[in-house]
Each structure stands twice: as structure tokens, then as C-alpha cells.
Amino acid sequence: MGVARSADRHWLRSDNGRAANGTATTRDTANGIEEAKSAGEALKKAQMKFDIAHTSVLTRANKTLDTILEILGQKDIPIKKTWRLNERHYGGLTGLNKAETAAKHGEEQVKIWRRSFDIPPPPITPDNPYYKVILEDPRYKDGPSKSEFPMFESLKLTIERTLPYWNDTIVPQIRQGKSILIAAHGNSLRGIVKHLEQMSDEAIMGLNLPTGIPFVYELDEHMRPIRKMQFLGDPETVKKAMESVANQGKAK
């Protein structure tokens, strides 16, 4: 099983600061495109061949997946899209620049909202410019319903809506001998990693999955990793990429 976190994207804003994009649509950046290409090249170098790909309904993950499959020469494989692999819904923080939010509320409060396992941010409200954009997005016509659509999510809640798709859809395919590629987001992927490696709540909060560097798992018959995740990159590059992700929420 190959896994890639969606490449770097940013909000349609006048500044280039990263924002809590979550479930909203963002555009490609030059860096994001290069990250997706790097992920594709790493998987190609590892001679990975996939039978089925899974991704979220969000554009940034779809573009990452398309770029990877183009490089692999595997664009003809089936692609399954689901809202259950979406990024965490950041509620009232949606659209706010991370550094600006940290400067306003303090780095510790931002860390609590963004990184704590079960403490969600405040809910998104109708006066948020992205409220209707998200809630009325036609990509959610098959679910969830408007009454079920989350107004905020903690990491715990994100995992709770991600794992049913893993257990009910992806696991049966792996048991059939299929090789799976997942292109999703930092928090939905952390849910899968936490489940596979039986990590504690505290440990998963400290895991920063890098963009542009895919990782692979080989699972046994019990759907447990034969070994821990293997990043397709040299250790120093992986370390720096993880540190970059960890630093995104700090005030500047």
C-alpha cells in the first residue's frame, strides 16, 4: 500500500501565508505541483504498481493523485473518491492564516485547536465566507447530508469518520490481494496510521506527515504492518519535511 499526503496548497488570498484550508477548495501552488511530482517520482523509482486508488473529494488531493498516476503511467486504474478521506474540518478557523491566528490567540491555543486529539476548534458560523461554499458544495450530494455535515472536527472526530471507509472499503480490497494507493490529507491519513500502528493519542498528535514524500506499508493477514511506515526518501530530507509541517502553525 502506497500513501501520499496531498501536496502543498494555499487559499485564494492576497498573501501567501498558509491557512486552515480543511474542507474548502484551494488552488495549486508551484511548490505544491513540484511536491506531487516528487511523490510520483519516488513511487516510480520504488517500482510501485497499483490496482486501485482512493482519495478525498477535495481538489488538492485529486490533483496530487492525478499527478502521481501520470508519472507512474497508471492513469487507467479505478479511482474512488470519498468525503471520509477529507481533511479535518477546522470550523471557525477556516480561512484564517495560521501564523496570523497564532499571533492573535497565541501559539499554545493554536496548538490546542490544531493538534490536540479531542479538543475541537470553535464551529464555523454562517457569517464565515466559506460557510455556504462548503455546505452547498455539489461534491457532497452523495453524503454527508447537511444535517450530518460537521461544523468542526477534532482529530478524534476526523478519525472516527475516516476509519469506517478504511475498514469497509479499503481493507476488503487489500484482502483480495489488491495494491492500494491513497492520496489524502494530513489528519485523515494520521487516523489510518494511528489505527495501523496502534499509536496512542499522544503519539499521533506528535506525528507530522510531510508533503511530497510518500510512504508505504506492507500488511500481514491481520492487516497489521509487517514493519513501520517506510518513507520513500532519505532520512534527513524526511526529517526536515516533518519539521516544516510542525512549524506551519507558529507565529512569525
Confidence of residue 64 (pLDDT cuts 50, 70, 90): very high
Render pLDDT for 134-188 as a digit per residue (tens, 0 to 9): 988 999 988 888 788 899 999 999 999 999 999 999 999 999 999 999 999 999 9
* 114 marked ligand binding residue: yes
Cell numbers for 51, please give them: 490496482
Looking at per-residue pLDDT, the higher value among 11 and 158 belongs to 158
| pLDDT value at 1 more than 50 | yes
| Residues sharing a CB contact under 8 Å with residue 70, sequence separation 6 or more, in sequence order | 40
Which residues does residue 52 pair with via DSSP β-bridges, in sequence order? 180
Superfamily of chain region 2-89+155-248:
Phosphoglycerate mutase-like (3.40.50.1240)
| pLDDT value at 15 more than 50 | no
| pLDDT value at 113 more than 90 | no
| pLDDT value at 18 more than 70 | no
Render pLDDT for 194-249 as a digit per residue (tens, 0 to 9): 999 999 999 999 899 998 899 999 999 999 999 989 999 999 999 998 998 887 65
* 217 marked ligand binding residue: no
Looking at per-residue pLDDT, the higher value among 169 and 27 belongs to 169
* 247 marked ligand binding residue: no
Question: For the whole prediction, is pTM greater than 0.75?
Answer: yes
Which residues does residue 4 pair with via DSSP β-bridges, in sequence order? 183
Sign of CA dihedral 26, 20, 96, 237: negative
Mean pLDDT of 82-96: 91
* 90 marked ligand binding residue: yes
Cell numbers for 117, please give them: 486529539
Locus of grid cell 499521533: 204
Mean pLDDT of 64-90: 96
Q: Tell me, what's the pLDDT at 10?
A: 42
Looking at per-residue pLDDT, the higher value among 11 and 152 belongs to 152
C-alpha neighbours within 13 Å on the C-beta side of residue 136: 6
* 88 marked ligand binding residue: yes
Q: Helix 30-45 and helix 59-72: axis angle, to 10°?
A: 40
Is beta strand 230-231 parallel, antiparallel or unpaired with respect to 215-216?
A: antiparallel
**Range name among 108-112, 113-117, 198-202 with the lowest pLDDT average:** 113-117
Residue 58's φ and ψ, nearest 5 degrees, are -85, 140
Per-residue HEC secondary structure of the chain comes to CEEEECCCEECCCCCCCCEECCCCCCEECHHHHHHHHHHHHHHHHCCCCCCEEEECCCHHHHHHHHHHHHHHCCCCCCEEECHHHCCCCCHHHECCEHHHHHHHHCHHHHHHHHHCCCCCCCCCCCCCCCHHHHHCCHHHCCCCCCCCCCCCCCHHHHHHHHHHHHHHHHHHHHHCCCCEEEEECHHHHHHHHHHHHCCCHHHHHCCCCCCCCCEECCECCCCCECCCCEECCCHHHHHHHHHHHHHHHCCC
Percent of the chain residues topping a pLDDT of 70: 88
| pLDDT value at 27 more than 80 | no
Looking at per-residue pLDDT, the higher value among 137 and 113 belongs to 137
Cell numbers for 247, please give them: 512549524
* 227 marked ligand binding residue: no
Q: Tell me, what's the pLDDT at 21?
A: 60
Q: Helix 107-115 and helix 98-105: axis angle, to 10°?
A: 120
Looking at per-residue pLDDT, the higher value among 168 and 27 belongs to 168
Q: Tell me, what's the pLDDT at 17?
A: 40
* 190 marked ligand binding residue: no
Q: Tell me, what's the pLDDT at 180?
A: 98
Is beta strand 27-28 parallel, antiparallel or unpaired with respect to 9-10?
A: antiparallel
* 224 marked ligand binding residue: no
